[in-house]
């Protein structure tokens, strides 16, 4: 069916996301009469697209979005800025939110005099005009295995769910990136052959679906072609609707495209499970690192803000207790009678007002003497088994030790060897042993 007749089939706000790539203007013949693009003047071509996508704004839910994969092209020696011309045509009904570069790596040559070989396309991301509650689940596509080595020492700077993808989506096969997906040869996926000249890689569609839809949502492709969008939507338990003017593609979809994408999805699901497990592990580790680092940084910032050296005189240890809540319990443990906490409290409240102080929690440290802590061990919930972090290193514990062993060691002269200048050793029930290293996807 012609996508210009969508209004005859779909009425009311039923669609959650549209993912599509319109015909390449007058450059390609898709084998059907009265098709959009081929044989049309540029103005008429844009007008048809504007009418289709303007109507689509009426059938997309307020939480929905529109993704158009499209490229510039050369006609009579001049570049046509199709992505931007189309975006301008749609601005009354759609707000453009982002422009992403799809680096396809392997594609049709498309190079000629005055233009280098083109290996990318634009992905235009739209939401309905003035929409603010559109679906956008960024945590689902964060990469938990592509972090520079400094994430261990600076956990507060890294999102616990992983690295946010940038606006260049590299769609080439690689062992080092988790979001690599490609067209291995033009029109071919795995062992299946698709005659359509521009199939989408399944993982490109997967990313958009993860980002902007939930299971049972309705996905529309007005220019369905061989149906890669529809097949990926179906295997991911979304409902799919596709329009295409060439009936041959429908047969191809059922015989070739859907079975192949379904086969690939069974493999991909295992990979996604591994990614999810990596996210859980990363989130847990980053929060542990943050909880251990927080009191050390708080003391450093307090000194810069004017805390006197006298206030830290006799500070024996920092006790950090993780009780499986968002914020840890933190105790500044003094050898003898601790100083009045009023100076600390006022200073900490000032420090925590600064925007840079972002750890995801704001515990209120408590000041206590060593003797009082010993007397109230059970009441404070201090476990028997603890870990010692020395010389300011909060990502790799020096040794494990019992509560009694800690008390014994903390009263010895050698205890000062665990200090980093004025920062005392940290004692905690949090166990972390992370070397300074980059996180990378394991090679297959």
Q: In the sheet where 218-221 sits, what is the strand order?
A: 168-170, 94-103, 120-128, 60-70, 15-20, 218-221, 239-242
Query: Is the pLDDT reported for residue 180 higher than 50?
Result: no
From the CB of residue 186, how many other CB atoms can be counted at a distance below 10 Å?
Answer: 14
Q: Are residues 90 and 164 in the same domain?
A: yes
Pair 332, 393 in one domain: yes
Last residue of a domain, one of 283, 314, 346: 283
CATH number for the domain harbouring residue 21: 3.40.50.150
Residues 350 and 229 in one domain: no
- Single pTM value for the model: 0.83
Query: What is the mean predicted confidence (pLDDT) over 197-219?
Result: 89
Residue 393 within a domain: yes
Q: What is the tens place of the pLDDT at every residue in 284-342? A: 999 999 999 999 988 888 888 888 778 888 999 999 999 877 789 999 999 988 887 77
3-state secondary structure 178-232: CCCCCCCECCEECCEECCCCCCCCHHHHHHHHHHHCCCCCEEEECCCCCCHHHHH
What's the pLDDT score for residue 443?
45
Claim to verify: residue 327 and residue 399 sit in the same structural domain: yes
Q: How far apart are CA 392 and CA 251, in angstroms?
A: 66
- Count of other CB atoms within 10 angstroms of residue 263: 15
Residue 400 belongs to a domain? yes
Cβ-Cβ contacts under 8 Å for 392 (sequence gap 6 or more): 296, 420, 423
Q: Residue 347 pLDDT > 80, yes or no?
A: no
Q: Are residues 141 and 266 in the same domain?
A: yes
269's torsion region: left (phi>0), alpha (psi -120 to 50) or beta? alpha
User: Are residue 138 and residue 246 in the same domain, yes or no?
Assistant: yes
**Are residue 272 and residue 318 in the same domain, yes or no?**
no
278 and 363, same domain (yes or no):
no
Kindly state whether residues 249 and 312 are assigned to the same domain.
no
Q: Are 144 and 94 in contact (CB under 8 A)?
A: no
The first and second tokens of residue 77, run together, are 């020696």
Both tokens of 259, joined, read: 């079975």
Gap between the Cα atoms of 348 and 344, Å rounded: 6
* 191 and 46 belong to one structural domain: yes
Average pLDDT in the 386-403 region? 96
Q: Residue 59's pLDDT is what?
A: 97
> Considering the domain boundaries, does residue 297 fall inside one?
no
The string over 81-109, giving b where at least 16 C-beta atoms fall within 10 Å of a residue's C-beta and e elsewhere, is ebbebbbebbeebbebeeebebebbebbe
**Count of structural domains, the chain:** 2
Give the structural domain span for 244. 3-283
DSSP annotation of 360 reads S
Considering the domain architecture, whether residues 354 and 238 belong to the same structural domain is answered as no
Residue 344 is predicted with a pLDDT of 77
Portion of the chain with pLDDT greater than 70, in percent: 84
């Amino acid at each position: 069916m012609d996508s210009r007749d969508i209004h005859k089939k779909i009425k009311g706000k039923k669609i959650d996301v549209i993912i599509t790539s319109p015909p390449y203007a007058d450059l390609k013949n898709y084998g059907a009469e009265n098709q959009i693009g081929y044989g049309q003047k540029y103005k008429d071509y844009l007008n048809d697209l504007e009418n289709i996508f303007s109507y689509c704004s009426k059938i997309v839910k307020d939480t929905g979005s529109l993704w158009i994969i499209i490229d510039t092209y050369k006609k009579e020696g001049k570049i046509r800025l199709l992505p931007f011309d189309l975006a301008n045509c749609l601005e009354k009904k759609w707000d453009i939110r982002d422009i992403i570069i799809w680096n396809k790596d392997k594609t049709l040559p498309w190079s000629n005099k005055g233009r280098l070989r083109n290996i990318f396309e634009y992905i235009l991301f739209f939401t309905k005009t003035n929409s603010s509650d559109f679906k956008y689940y960024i945590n689902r596509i964060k990469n938990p295995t592509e972090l520079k080595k400094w994430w261990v020492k600076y956990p507060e700077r890294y999102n616990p769910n992983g690295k946010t993808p940038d606006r260049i989506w590299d769609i080439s096969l690689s062992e080092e990136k988790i979001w690599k997906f490609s067209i291995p040869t033009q029109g071919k996926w795995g062992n299946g052959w698709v005659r359509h000249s521009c199939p989408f890689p399944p993982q490109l569609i997967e990313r958009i679906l993860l980002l902007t839809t939930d299971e049972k949502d309705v996905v529309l492709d007005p220019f369905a072609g061989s149906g890669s969008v529809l097949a990926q939507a179906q295997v991911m338990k979304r409902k799919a609707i596709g329009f295409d003017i060439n009936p041959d593609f429908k047969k191809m979809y059922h015989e070739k495209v859907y079975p192949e994408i379904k086969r690939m999805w069974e493999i991909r699901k295992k990979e996604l499970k591994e990614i999810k497990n990596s996210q859980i592990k990363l989130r847990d580790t980053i929060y542990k690192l943050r909880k251990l680092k927080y009191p050390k940084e708080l003391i450093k910032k307090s000194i810069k803000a004017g805390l006197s050296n006298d206030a830290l005189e006799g500070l024996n240890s920092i006790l950090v207790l993780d009780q499986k809540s968002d914020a840890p319990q933190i105790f500044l443990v003094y050898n003898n009678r601790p100083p009045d906490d009023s100076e600390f409290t006022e200073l900490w409240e000032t420090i925590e007002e600064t925007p840079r102080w972002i750890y995801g929690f704001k515990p209120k440290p408590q000041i206590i003497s060593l003797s009082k802590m010993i007397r109230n061990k059970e009441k404070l919930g201090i476990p028997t088994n603890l870990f010692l972090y020395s010389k300011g290193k909060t990502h790799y514990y020096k040794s494990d030790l019992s509560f009694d062993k800690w008390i014994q060691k903390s009263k010895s002269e050698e205890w000062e060897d665990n200090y980093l200048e004025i920062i005392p050793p940290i004692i905690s029930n949090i166990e972390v042993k992370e070397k300074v290293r980059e996180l990378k996807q394991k090679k297959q």
